[in-house]
Amino acid sequence: MARVAKKEKAGDFIKFLGTAGARFVMIKQLRASGGLWVSYKGTNVIIDPGPGSIVRCAASKPKLDPSKLDGIILTHRHLDHSGDINVMIEAMTEGGFKKRGAVFCPEDSTGEDTVILKHAESFPEKIEILKANKSYKLGEFEFETSMRHIHPAETYGIRFNMGKTSVSLLTDTKYFKELADFYKTDVLIITVVFFEPRPGIDHLCLDDAEQIIRLTKPKKAILTHFGMTMLSAKPHIQAEKLSKKLGIEVLAAYDGMTLNF
Ligand SMILES: [Zn+2]
Ligand SMILES: [Zn+2]
C-alpha cells in the first residue's frame, strides 16, 4: 500500500532539465541543456536530452532516475537536443544489459551519420523513426508529431495529453504560419532563440513566438530554449510583457521548473 501511495503522490509532471537554446548558451551552460522529463501515469520519457542531461537528472530535487526511463524522444539531431542520447540509452537499459525502452527520432538521427552509437543501437527494445503527422505510443504516453519544421535537420515538434490538458512542444524552426494549425493546445511550450528577428537563421524570435501565441491562444504559453540575446533581454520580463499584451498567461521557463498536472 505504501508503494501505491508514493506513486500517486509523484503525480504527472513535466520538468525542464534545461532551457538553453542554440550553441552559445549551451556551450557556456548559462542555462542547462538537459531537455524535458515527462512523467505520465508511471511512464517516464525524456525529450531532447542535450549535454548534461544525466547530470541534471542526478542534481534534480527530487532526483530523477534515468534507469526508470521508458523512452527517449529526439525532436532532431542537433547537439543541444541529443548530446546525452547515448548515456540516456545506457541508463534506460541498465548499461545495455537489459533490453528495454524505446527511442523515437527522425530518420537523419540514425543511419550513416547517426547520433546513436552503433553499439548502443541494439540496447533499446526499439528505435522508431519519426515521420510528420503520425501518432506514437509508449506505455501510457501517446504523442503526435507535427508537420516537418523548417530547420537544417529533420525536425518535428510534438503534441500530447496530460490527462485532460493538451500540451505541445514547438521545437526549433523558422516561422511559418501553418505552425499554428498543429500547436493549438492548452499548454504551449515554445522555443524562442532570438530576441530580435535574424533573417536567414531557422529559429524563432520573440515576435514569431508572439504571433504563434496570438494564433494558437493557449491557456498557458511557456517560452524556453533561450539564446544569448533572449537571456540579455531577461526572458521573465519579456514573458510578462507578452502576457499583458495578449491577455494570455505567458511564462519564461527556468532550469528545474516543474509543471504538475
Ligand atoms: Zn535547439
Ligand atoms: Zn536545432
Instruction: Give 172-191 pLDDT, tens digit per residue.
Output: 999 999 999 999 999 999 99
Distance CA 261, CA 240 (A): 23
pLDDT digits 0-9 by tens, 21-80: 988 999 999 999 999 999 999 999 999 999 999 999 999 999 999 999 999 999 999 999
Q: How far is Cα 58 from Cα 240, in angstroms, rounded to an integer?
A: 31
Task: Find the 182 Cα to ligand 1 centroid distance in Å.
Answer: 19
> 154 C-alpha to center of ligand 1: Å?
12
Radius of gyration from C-alpha coordinates of the chain: 17
Phi, psi for 116 (deg, rounded to 5):
-100, 120
Distance (Å, rounded) from C-alpha 213 to C-alpha 15?
21
- As a whole number of angstroms, the distance between CA 13 and CA 176 comes to 30
pTM of the model: 0.95
Q: Is the pLDDT of residue 1 over 70?
A: no
Query: Could you say which ligand is closest to the alpha carbon of residue 150?
Result: 2
Candidates 100, 67, 72, 70; CA nearest to 85 is 72
* Residue 18: C-alpha distances to residues 22, 35, 52, 226, 258 (Å): 12, 5, 9, 10, 11
Q: How far is CA 51 from CA 27, 169, 187, in A?
A: 9, 19, 26
21 Cα: distance to centroid of ligand 1 (angstroms): 5
Report the pLDDT value the prediction gives residue 4, as an integer from 0 to 100.
46
5 CA to middle of ligand 2, Å?
A: 40
User: Which residue(s) pair with 187 in the sheet?
Assistant: 167, 220
pLDDT surpasses 80 at 7: no
**CA dihedral defined by 223, 228, 232, 236, rounded to 10 degrees?**
10
In the prediction, which pLDDT does 10 show? 65
> CA angle at residue 182 from 174 to 129, to 5 degrees?
80
Q: How far is the CA of 149 from the centre of ligand 2 (A)?
A: 10
Reported residue count of the chain is 261
At 114-142, the pLDDT tens digits run 999 999 999 999 999 999 999 999 999 99
Q: Point out the ligand nearest to the CA of residue 81.
A: 1
Residue 96 scores a pLDDT above 60: yes
pLDDT per position as a tens digit, 185-230: 999 999 999 999 999 999 999 999 999 999 999 999 999 999 999 9
Distance 10 CA to ligand 2 centre (A): 32
**Residue 227 carries which side chain, given as an amino acid letter?**
G
Measured in Å, residue 150 CA sits from the centre of ligand 2 at 10
- When the pLDDT of each residue in the chain is averaged and rounded to a whole number, the result is 95
Note the ligand closest to the C-alpha atom of 80.
1
User: Rounded to the nearest whole angstrom, what is the distance from the C-alpha of residue 161 to the centroid of ligand 1?
Assistant: 23
- CA angle, residues 32, 106, 182, in degrees to nearest 5: 80
Ligand nearest to the CA of 33: 1
Angstrom CA distances, 175 to 34, 134, 147, 150, 203, stand at: 24, 21, 13, 8, 7
Quick one: cell of 84? 546525452
| Ion ligand 2 residues within 5 Å by Cβ | 78, 172
